[in-house]
Structure 1
């Protein structure tokens, strides 16, 4: 009989060796894993970012990012693309061929159409461009050119409060700013840059320092005073919000835009709110009787506005010698930015307000007809042919206005020549096709070639439609255009004018 031995013998030693080997391997693997996690050795556990794939011979297809349609503030103008200095301009023959189908549209049967190269001013297309027609709101392009000659590039408007004949009398001086914020001023905006609450703070502080707790408040309206509405306007324009009343003082919250009806008396609205704000600051206020100047007598050839009218405002200017003490002062956004805003929103009252005070500063009268005649004179002074041109206002609401399409394009060319900074800034405010202002819902569908590339001023009166501005074509060349249409419905006329501009944008027209 065989008895099992208690000695494990060689098999046990082999197992021991095998376990030792396995433990060694495991130890090595764990160590490597630690190094891998610590990014000290390559491996699947590394925390370092994976290296980029090697470049391929054939790159992927480049695609444009999807960008939601912007809704830029009208207080911040979009920069117009620069002129394409080296891009070849379209030829007249090329433009004529491209537009052949467009000009045959029934809506353009009675129209005036002009196209120019935006860089050289060369006429590329002219169909009845010398005919006098109702310009509607494209009148504002002429007004922008005129206003730009009366104001310096950085000119602003002041609203001040001065001490009156006694310590207990104060005078609110209308200085041309119709965009005053009823609260605190906002330095980032055009409409609302100056704040009435800031003015109230300044005046109440000054009165408290002088120991005055009750005042009589008067208003000085001698600066560029004139009628609130034009006799050639439809009587329903102001009550329906097509325009506000024209005055040299107003609140940004009461602008007549988008059909919103503004106050019949903007100056009184500002005065009354100012009085309430002073009372909330502990000052008792009594309103003085209103003394309105006459608008029938033009100022002298070299204007000498009322000493309290601040005709050449400056944020840091000290009160003129001999004038009463200034108790408070607020300063508007630059006139050039206000003008751009007027074009973006097609703000009729704001255009009239800026043009009237520009005429006043230049020695012109302050009725609507006086201001319109002054605008024509200033366009003439630019060296442009204005024979036959008639303006009864500065905004284009009058059906008695007459302008030529070729004149509109000449002004647009001048606006881009770098020599007229206020006009140039105003043109930056022209609505952008498909994006802003009165063009926000146009240039869609089949006319989308001009969306985002066209800037233009619209013009709409019953039986008279117009569009004038600029567009960058497919070759990067800036073209300016004007179209004036009579006898067509508004919907049909707009669609045809949009087709006209979209064709210019896409044709290349060599």
Structure 2
């Protein structure tokens, strides 16, 4: 074979071999090509979302998806019995911590007394006193009544008077319409005042404070001198800042009114008004009125330059119970007593609270209060009376008290019960609402719980002479027992 022909033959067979080899690789999907044994890959995604189709599933029927509707809470078949409660509490009542306790259990829907162990013995109530105070306050204020902080003109246009109106939860800045503490803001008040001053060309003022409304002592003589410094309570005054509320380990200011005056002067200054602080004492112009809305002449001495409005009193009262806020309770009780014509000293307010509870037809024999918050160890209240107040509040005829009870701490979740019912009694978490009471050697718990039968039960426990941790544990077991028994 000539050399040229042999060369052409070799090249041709080489090309055939290469093509056949590539075809084999293509079919085996080992090389890219049109010949393949695998299905085509999905197309590349696009920016357009295709219509999604779902299988049609028949909706389940009520019978298949849920049990029968719950019976009425007031149903006769769900009513607990005294014998059932006694059986459920037999072991708990034998606890050493409850040996000398006062225990009361009642049907929250009928008021029937299911258990009464020393319920008529006067005991130190500690902060459960606030339940009585809430009852009295609810008798004085209308359901949606609010408190106004007003600024009035003094004897001359360059004198402005900040009028204390009972709001101890003022926001130092702009008010927050969604909050209870801080609903009314000093920034908003200052803007109103500066607008009125600017219209008269006034850029320099003297700032006074009118403290005539429900004025009284800042601390009670029956309180321990360490309470303010430890943050157990704040000083009681008819003006205060929401950011300075006292709490354990964080004391509030010794003079809340001075703190508000300083914050308001700062807001005026930030808006271009030069402020001179007048000495405390009698303020010029027309004294402030504790009425539900500010009333004054439209111009001249005493005219209103600005006004801000607090959250409703019933919401403040609920907050006081949730946080066991001693100063806030005293502030609300003092002005309620003042509006009723009573004195503003702590013991006078305490006596007024008792009189208002008695006016509802409740038995207040042996009850004495030296304050409205329960910090005084001289207070004496019967467990049976606390249960009377709870039953009264849940019957729906006293709207302010009813909402206040809705503000009671919730077991395992909120306020002073956030760290309670989290152990062996965890089933009560979220089901019990109660007011705690804690003083050295005197502990109490009063509230309500929905039992396993869906029935509302009211309970009160008052323990004396044992350590706080031991008393709390025993009271928690007491509530857990009635919550889980059904008590038929």
Determine if the alignment matches structure 1 residue 48 to structure 2 residue 21.
no
Report if aligned partners of 2:230, 2:248 keep a CA contact under 8 Å in 1: no
Distance 1:82 1:490, change over 3 A: farther
1:264 aligns with 2:254: yes
TM-score (norm 1): 0.82
Hey, which bits of structure 1, 4+ residues long, moved more than 2 A? 45-48, 50-56, 58-62, 306-310, 317-323
Q: 1:170 aligns with which of 160, 176, 184?
A: 160
Structure 1 residues 307 and 421, CA gap change in structure 2 (3 angstroms):
farther
CA contact (8 A) 1:257 1:345 kept: no
Contact conserved, 2:190 with 2:268, CA < 8 A, in 1?
yes
User: Which among 319, 344, 350 is matched to residue 296 of structure 2?
Assistant: 319
1:119 aligned to 2:109? yes
1:154 to 144, 155, 169: 144
Separation in 2, partners of 1:277, 1:449: 50
Please list the CA deviations of residues 73-101 of structure 1 after superposition, one character each: whole Å capped at 9, or x if unmatched: xxxxxxxx998222622100110111010
Q: Are 2:393 and 1:415 aligned?
A: yes
User: 1:378 aligns to what?
Assistant: 356
Call closer, same or farther: CA 1:209–1:320 in 2, change over 3 Å. closer
* Structure 1 residue runs without a partner (length 5+): 1-44, 63-80, 294-305
1:395 to 373, 383, 388: 373
Which of the residues 152, 169, 180 maps onto 1:190? Answer: 180
Q: 1:216, 1:288 within 8 Å by CA — same for their partners in 2? A: yes
Structure 1 residues 188 and 47, CA, compared in 2 at 3 Å: closer, same or farther?
Answer: closer
Deviations, residues 32-73 of structure 1 (Å, cap 9, x unaligned):
xxxxxxxxxxxxx996223449999x97999xxxxxxxxxxx
| Mapping of residues 220-235 of structure 1, within 5 Å | 220-235=210-225
- What SS is found at the alignment partner of 1:274? helix
The offset of 1:313, in angstroms, is 2.0
The answer to whether residue 333 in structure 2 is matched with residue 344 in structure 1 is no
* Counterparts of residues 79-478 of structure 1 (less than 5 Å): 84-86=73-75, 88-291=78-281, 308-314=287-293, 318-319=295-296, 324-478=302-456
Aligned-partner Cα distance in 2 for 1:325–1:55? 67
Change (3 A) 1:449 1:168: same
SS of the residue corresponding to residue 172 of structure 1 reads strand
The answer (yes or no) to whether the contact 1:146–1:375 under 8 Å persists in 2 is: yes
Give the superposition deviation at 1:184: 0.5
Kindly report which structure 2 residues correspond to 1:20-35, keeping only aligned pairs within 5 A, or say none: none
Alignment of 1:72-83 (within 5 A): none
Shift of 1:259: 3.1
Q: Which secondary structure does the structure 2 equivalent of 1:202 belong to? A: helix
**Contact 2:156–2:301 (CA<8 Å) still a contact in 1?**
no
RMSD after superposition: 2.6
Shift, 1:257, TM fit:
2.3
Equivalent position of 1:33 in the other structure? none
Does the CA contact (< 8 Å) of 2:147 and 2:311 recur in 1? yes
Q: CA deviation at 1:503?
A: 0.7
2:473 & 2:264 partners in 1: Cα distance? 47
Please report how far the alpha carbon of residue 319 of structure 1 lies from its aligned counterpart in structure 2 after TM superposition. Answer: 2.8
1:71 counterpart residue number: none
Q: Is the 8 A contact 1:83 1:478 kept in 2?
A: no
1:292–1:411 Cα change, 3 Å: farther
Shift in Å, 1:308: 3.5
The size of the alignment, in residue pairs, is 436
Secondary structure class of the residue paired with 1:446: coil
Give a deviation string over 1:357-397, Cα, whole Å, max 9, x none: 00000000000001000000000001011111000000000
